[in-house]
Amino acid sequence: MKQLVLVIVLALGLSTILLSEHAFAQLQFKGLNYPGIRWEWPIKADQYTFTVNTTTNYDMQNVTFNKDAKTLTFLGNSPHTGNIAEIEIPKNLIGGNYTVYQDGKRISPIVLRNGNLTTVMLKFNDTGNVKTDITGTTYLPEFSGIVPVIMAASFGMLLLASRYRKI
């Protein structure tokens, strides 16, 4: 019985850490050999500029964006193993379901959605250069907030028109 209670307490504690908005930032000084460094990357997309934040315990060297492919590409270099990255992506830049590749291999990172940001957390043990591609299914959903209002108004007008239509 005591073991079951201990397992439940540990599971709840771990899930609280992993589901928090800045899980890596909270863990960075609790047992990591290499503390994290935070970078802010301005990403130009049409007439907008979005900020993509990265916190890694390795050298993040460059971030590029391909709007046609809806892909952010992160280039880094690490002299050590035990690498962790936390990437915050504005949902209005790319959103929807993410596909993530690291050095050409598809991986399954932890993805947390919180309001206007999506946080992608990666862990890998390779040294040297690393290329991470994050592809979304949507790009710049400018009118996503107004679409339900327009649809509701359209259905309302359609219902009113059908009620008062003379045959």
pLDDT tens string 28-48 = 444 455 567 898 999 998 888
**Which domains are present in the chain?**
24-158 (2.60.120)
Residue 4 has pLDDT above 80, yes or no: no
pLDDT bracket for residue 98 (50, 70, 90) = very high
pLDDT tens string 111-166 = 999 888 999 999 988 889 999 999 999 887 655 555 566 667 776 777 777 777 65
The Cα 58–Cα 79 span in angstroms is 8
Average pLDDT of the chain, as a whole number: 78
pLDDT of residue 40: 92
Burial 115-136 (b: 16+ CB within 10 A, else e): eeebbbbbebeeeeebebbbbb
Q: Are 131 and 73 in contact (CB under 8 A)?
A: yes
pLDDT of residue 143: 52
pLDDT above 90 coverage of the chain, percent: 43
Hey, what's the torsion of the CAs at 39, 40, 45, 46, to 10 degrees? -140
82: alpha, beta or left? (left if phi > 0; alpha if psi -120 to 50): left
The more confident residue out of 151 and 70 is: 70
